[in-house]
Amino acid sequence: MKPIAFAFFALLLASSTLNAQRPGGGGAGSAQRQQRPSTQSQSQSQSQQGTVTPAQQQQRDRLRTQATTQQRQQYQSADQSMQQLRTQTRDMVRTASASTVSANQLQQQRDQIREQIRTMQQQRETVMQGLNNDQRSAVQQRTRTMQQTQERIETQLRNMDQELAKPSPDTKRLAEQARIVERESVQYQQQYRLVGDDLSLRNQ
């Protein structure tokens, strides 16, 4: 019986050795395979953070040669108007949040914001009209996104109009509406600056 038991033990030992050497059986090879998903996750994370792909960089390099001095100047004027809009909306938030404020003062600030938006939109439209077909096609999706943001801003302005038309406007509500306009204005400017990056119009 002892020789049989020894042979059985040797068979088990050989089987364990073979399993350790097989793919997926453990060891350094298994550890490397377990690390691969983390590398893929890092790649996906970089993509979500807006990393420019080689194809996008190649397109930007091509479009850089098409950008003119006039286009860059027009682009900067519109960007400055967007910055002024953000300042004006912050001012209205502070005014509406004050302990004492008149409806007339809020109406004046609302009118200034509306006029600033009109100026900003006209300047942006001048920029877009000055682009050639290649440039316009490259930022088509971004301009659609900007249009959606602009519509949300206009919705809040209409809400302000309705509130200010009341005999006793709710200043807290007006402050919140101004905050939304400010938040959307930030998004609008960020989207516009991506357009500038794509077309090499933005000052670096």
CB atoms within 10 A of CB 103: 16
Write out pLDDT tens, residues 99-136.
888 889 999 999 999 999 999 999 999 999 999 999 99
In this prediction, residue 44 has a pLDDT band, given cuts at 50, 70 and 90, of very low
User: Average pLDDT for residues 42-65, to the nearest whole number?
Assistant: 61
Instruction: Report the SS3 class of residue 132.
Output: coil
Please provide the average confidence, as pLDDT, over all residues in the chain: 80
Rounded to a whole number of angstroms, the distance between the first and last alpha carbons of the chain is 85
CATH of 68-199, one of 2.40.160, 1.10.3470, 1.20.1420, 1.10.10: 1.20.1420
Query: In the prediction, which pLDDT does 110 show?
Result: 95
pLDDT attached to residue 60? 73
Whether the pLDDT of residue 20 is over 90: the answer is no
Is the pLDDT at 71 greater than 80? The verdict is yes
What's the Cα-to-Cα distance from 154 to each of 22, 76, 147, rounded to whole Å? 65, 23, 11
- Answer whether residue 35 shows pLDDT above 50: no
For residue 83, pLDDT over 50 is answered with: yes
Q: Are 57 and 150 in contact (CB under 8 A)?
A: no
Buried b (16+ CB within 10 A) or exposed e, 43-70: eeeeeeeeeeeeeeeebeeebeeebeee
105 by DSSP, 3-state: which? helix
CA distance 183 to 173: 15
pLDDT at 67: 85
Q: What is the pLDDT of residue 108?
A: 95
pLDDT for position 99:
83
Residue 91 has pLDDT above 80, yes or no: yes
Position with higher pLDDT, 148 vs 53 = 148
What pLDDT is recorded for position 204?
58
pLDDT at residue 63, rounded to an integer: 74
Q: In degrees to the nearest 10, what's the CA dihedral of 75, 196, 186, 137?
A: 100
d(CA 190, CA 187): 5
As a whole-number percent, the residues of the chain with pLDDT over 90 amount to: 63
pLDDT of 3 higher than 80: no
pLDDT, average across residues 184-192: 96
